[in-house]
Chains A and B, each alone.
Chain A
Amino acid sequence: MADEALFQFLHSELIQYIYKSGANGETENGKNITKLEAMGFRVGQGLIERFTKETPRFKDELDVMKFICKDFWTCLFKKQIDNLRTNHQGIYVLQDNSFRLLSQLSAGKQYLEHAPKYLAFTCGLVRGGLSDLGLKSVVTAEVAGMPACKFQVMIQKA
């Protein structure tokens, strides 16, 4: 109940803080996104450790992705991923039709260019979770129309 709103406010402030402290120095835009993603990475590792304490071991990559889409997303955002697509060669696209962290921004074109900032932390969360489960990956996100967004996960083969 209240904890969802708490995290959303904290997340928005986090983004404002990173960008303000970035504006004082001469850091360019890319570094801020990297900082947010790195934060998400570390948090993701700890979260996965806690959430997978009781679950049985994962059989394969697809099993891990399904866990991320269902249990992990439910614990974080109280809903599951709406659509998971894969080409069975290490690329997965997770589609969320009403992403919680974007739902507070108006659903239109006005803030479309600011949306990636709000997705960076979650990209890090997914990357950290996957890395803790043994899968190195690259996670990117794109927003076609608010508040829907797509996360693309590319698993790197060793």
Chain B
Amino acid sequence: MAVCIAVIAKENYPLYIRSVPTQNELKFHYTVHTSLDVVEEKISAAGKAMADQRELYLGLLYPTEDYKVYGYVTNSKVKFVIVVDSSNTSLRDNEIRSMFRKLHNSFTDVMCNPFYNPGDPVQSKVFEGMVSGMMVQAS
């Protein structure tokens, strides 16, 4: 279960960011912002390495003492960042991948919506519903 989920556009501004409301939200925004650097590093490093079939999923970006941050980049350079609680029983890689896949599918649906202009904040209710399903339930 994620603690914070963010969708960041190609130009590195957030299209959608949502965190568990009970905690200090600013801290999560800051964490997501710093993780962008790590994402950039991984993208440029992968260019020199061999083409990997699973390049879209970036894996664990960096662990802090409380949280782990995972990243995923689409071919259109939109980045998804998920922050999970470390104290939680460690989620397996496959579960994180499936979360990213669901996010990517929902985001593709949002992009294909003719009422959505690329670059605007995401306001789709279906997208919000899917994200709520993945976040820790606020007690």
Residues of A near any B CB (own CB < 8 A): 42, 45-46, 48-50, 52-53, 55-59, 132-134
Is the beta-carbon distance between A57 and B108 smaller than 8 angstroms?
Answer: no
Q: Are A59's CB and B51's CB within 8 A?
A: yes
Within 8 A of A (CB), among B52-106: 52-56, 73-77, 104-105
Residues in chain B near residue A133, CB distance under 8 A: 75-77
CB < 8 Å neighbour of A134 from B10, B46, B53, B54? B10
> Is the beta-carbon distance between A49 and B56 smaller than 8 angstroms?
no
Q: Which of chain A's residues have a CB closer than 8 A to the CB of B52?
A: 56
Q: Are A46 and B111 in contact (CB under 8 A)?
A: yes
Expressed in whole angstroms, the minimum distance between the Cβ of A65 and any Cβ of chain B is: 14
B112: Cβ under 8 A from any A Cβ: yes
Q: Is A42 a contact partner of B114 (Cβ separation < 8 A)?
A: yes
Given A42-B114, A46-B111, A134-B10, also A53-B73 (CB < 8 A): no
Tell me whether A52 and B111 are in contact (CB under 8 A): no
Bound: A50/B109 CA distance, A: 8
Of B47, B54, B112, B118, the residue contacting A59 (CB under 8 A) is B47
State the Cβ distance, B122 to closest chain A Cβ, in Å. Answer: 13
Asked if B114 contacts A49 (CB within 8 A), the reply is no
Which of chain B's residues have a CB closer than 8 A to the CB of A49?
A: 74, 76, 107-108, 111-112
Q: Which residues of the other chain, B, contact A52 by a CB distance below 8 angstroms?
A: 74-76
Which of chain A's residues have a CB closer than 8 A to the CB of B56? 56-57
19 more contacts with CB within 8 A, not counting A52-B74, A52-B75, A57-B73, are: A42-B114, A45-B111, A48-B76, A49-B74, A49-B108, A49-B111, A49-B112, A53-B74, A53-B108, A56-B52, A56-B53, A56-B56, A57-B51, A57-B55, A58-B75, A132-B76, A132-B118, A133-B77, A134-B10
Q: Are A56 and B76 in contact (CB under 8 A)?
A: no
| Smallest CB gap from B117: residue in A | A42
Can you sample 17 A-B contacts with CB below 8 Å? A46-B112, A48-B76, A49-B74, A50-B112, A53-B105, A53-B108, A57-B46, A57-B51, A57-B56, A57-B73, A59-B47, A59-B51, A132-B76, A132-B118, A133-B75, A133-B76, A134-B10
Once the chains bind, are A57 and B75 in contact (CB under 8 Å)?
Answer: yes
| Contact (A134, B76) CB under 8 Å given A56-B52, A57-B46, A57-B56 | yes
Residues of B within 8 A of A53 (CB): 74, 104-105, 108
Nearest CB to that of A59 among chain B residues? B51
CB-CB nearest 8 A-B residue pairs:
A52-B75, A46-B112, A57-B55, A49-B111, A132-B76, A49-B108, A46-B111, A56-B55
A55 partner residues in chain B, CB cutoff 8 A = 75
Complex: A20 Cα to B128 Cα, angstroms:
41
**A50 CB, min distance to chain B CBs, angstroms:** 5
